[in-house]
Amino acid sequence: MELIEVRQAGPVGTIVLNNGRKHNALSHALVTALIGALQAFRDSDVRVVILRAQPGVKVWSAGHDVSELPEGRRDPLGWDDPLRNLVRTLETHPAPVIAMIEGSVWGGAVETILACDIVIATPESTFAVIPARLGVPYNLSGLMTFMSAGSVRIVKELAFTATPISAERAERVGMINHVVPLAELETFTHQMAATIAANSPLSISVMKEQLRVLAGAKPVSPRGFEKVQGLRRVVYDSHDYAEGIRAFKDKRPPKYLGR
Ligand code: YXS
């Protein structure tokens, strides 16, 4: 069974997450397939991409594949982590990517859809930022992705509570673009895709890159970066990080000690 399905109708490309057994967890294999599909679209005349899961899913994606996270003493979200590569690929893909959501979205999958250009979700969709639940030290560019989609106050609430928020709340705070009833979701999304595809792909791809450069233009001094990396190392070297990963695998609540 393929981890994703890929199809193209004229200038609109569609990628369907297809690993329901693992709730479309963003494993190295799934991310590699996603990046390959985007590269193929880049080499073709696709002018807009729709990223979705199979119709009727309860979970759009359960986030990073926890079984592939290190159990300690190694950065779980280093530069070459599959999730980091996927986010960068989405952000630099020349055509707009529309994330079409039904079901719940977890952890790194929330960052993935926020790295897309437009997010359209059903009213039943939910979004949960999970690092604190697992004891994971999120990385700097990942937090920038969240900050570009919501105020720092909203990001703090999502990150500190690790509690799902509704599509309605996410839209109200500007994290997602539209909330559309399930029965209208596909039509609404494809109509927006067709509108985009009828506009100038060159103008759009340059504006997308300009907005990426501007959104990422936050001064971080080398000293500031090194301080952040040192703080993250304290977390991924901690008892709590190893406990979070172990507890998930043991299917039990974690016992955090704050060290
Ligand atoms: O026990 P089996 O082998 O059947 O596998 C189960 C789950 O272990 C597996 N699965 C996952 N495997 C790896 N990574 C995952 N993220 C993941 N999520 C699920 O899929 C099989 C079915 O899951 P199950 O029985 O729990 O399904 P359910 O319907 O009862 O519950 C659905 C969920 C999504 C509520 C539940 O699976 C869940 O809470 N999943 C974990 C969500 C999560 O914590 N995601 C964050 C991953 S870490 C990440 O994204 C970043 C590193 S960070 O932490 O920084 O955000």
pLDDT band at 129 (very low <50, low <70, confident <90, very high): very high
pLDDT score of 101: 98
pLDDT band at 216 (very low <50, low <70, confident <90, very high): confident
- Any ligand 1 atom below 6 A from CB of 64: yes
Is 12 a residue whose pLDDT tops 90? yes
pLDDT tens digit string along 80-107?
A: 999 999 999 999 999 999 999 999 999 9
- Any ligand 1 atom below 6 A from CB of 131: yes
- The average pLDDT across 113-125 equals 98
Q: Which residues contact 168 (CB under 8 A, 6 or more apart)?
A: 123, 179
Distance 248 CA to ligand 1 centre (A): 8
For the chain, the helix, strand and coil percentages under 3-state DSSP, each to the nearest 5: 50, 15, 35
- Any ligand 1 atom below 6 A from CB of 63: yes
The CA distance from 160 to 158, in Å, is 6
The CA distance from 157 to 161, in Å, is 6
Atom of ligand 1 nearest to the CA of 136: 55
Which residue's CA lies nearest to atom 18 of ligand 1?
A: 62
Phi, psi angles (nearest 5°) of residue 205:
-65, -35
Is 41 a residue whose pLDDT tops 90? yes
pLDDT score of 1: 83
End-to-end CA distance of the chain: 42
pLDDT score of 17: 98
- Check: CB of residue 62 under 8 Å from CB of residue 110: no
Domains and CATH numbers, the chain: 4-183 (3.90.226.10)
Which residue's CA lies nearest to atom 21 of ligand 1?
A: 22
Q: Report the side by side order of strands in the sheet with 104-106.
A: 59-61, 104-106, 126-128, 165-166
Distance 46 CA to ligand 1 centre (A): 32
- Check: CB of residue 24 under 8 Å from CB of residue 17: yes
Q: Is this structure's pTM higher than 0.85? A: yes
pLDDT tens digit string along 220-252?
A: 898 899 999 999 999 999 999 999 999 999 999
Packing angle of the helix pair 222-236, 239-249 (nearest 10 deg): 50
Place of tokens 């979070």: 244
- Check: CB of residue 55 under 8 Å from CB of residue 102: yes
pLDDT tens digit string along 159-195?
A: 999 999 999 999 999 999 999 999 999 999 999 999 9
- The average pLDDT across 11-24 equals 97
pLDDT band at 108 (very low <50, low <70, confident <90, very high): very high
pLDDT score of 239: 95
Ligand 1 pocket: which of 57, 61, 104, 106 to mutate (most atoms within 8 A of CB)? 106
Distance 185 CA to ligand 1 centre (A): 25
Is 217 a residue whose pLDDT tops 90? no
